[in-house]
Amino acid sequence: MTKFDIKKAPKGWRFPVTKKEVRSLIVETGARFDSVLFQGTRSSRGFLGSTWCWFGILQSERIEGEWHFRLEVNCLKEEYVIPFWREVVADVGAEVRRWVEKKRSLPPADPGRPTKLYLKYELGENGCVSCPRRPLRTISQWSRP
């Protein structure tokens, strides 16, 4: 059973994913998530005026031959979440699924290093968005017909 610990977001900030979306992801992966923590505020400036938005951290650990996962979700400024919310959730969800599958496919003797996946996306000055292992896209490319 996954334990959810959810802190209240400060005014002007929000979590980029809901508890319901995380539950759905956990069910979809079939992985054992021991805890999901919604807390803290994160956002830092990168190079050339870009903004890296730190979605959170996915931690993995093998205990008695079974993989256990722990997800930490950071609170971000609303301006970094609202315009790209669905796309970022989909891309970060895909990263989580890839990570879980990668860990589960490792042989039992493999230590499974690294044990942390840092989930982030980038908003550039020109309105572009980039998620891990994704090329930059313009805002118009995010819109769906």
DSSP structure string for the chain: --EEEEPPPPTTEE-SS-HHHHHHHHHHHT-EEEEEEEEEE--EE-GGG-EEEEEEEEEEEEETTEEEEEEEEEEEEHHHHGGGHHHHHHHHHHHHHHHHHHHHTS-TT------EEEEEEEE-TTS-EE-TT---B-HHHH---
* Predicted confidence (pLDDT) per residue in 35-72, tens digit: 999 988 876 555 445 567 778 889 999 988 889 999 99
Burial classification of residue 94, based on how many CB atoms lie within 10 Å of its CB (0-12 exposed, 13-18 middle, 19 or more buried) = middle
| Per-residue pLDDT, 133 | 46
Phi, psi of 64 (to 5 degrees): 50, 45
> Which whole number is the average pLDDT over 16-21?
90
- Given pLDDT bands bounded at 50, 70 and 90, which one contains residue 132? low
- Predicted model pTM: 0.78
Mean pLDDT estimate for the chain: 78
Higher pLDDT among residues 124 and 1, named by residue = 1
> Which whole number is the average pLDDT over 64-85?
84
> Which whole number is the average pLDDT over 107-124?
80
User: pLDDT above 90 covers what percent of the chain?
Assistant: 30
Say if residue 34's pLDDT is above 70.
Answer: yes
Cα separation, 101 vs 97, whole angstroms: 6
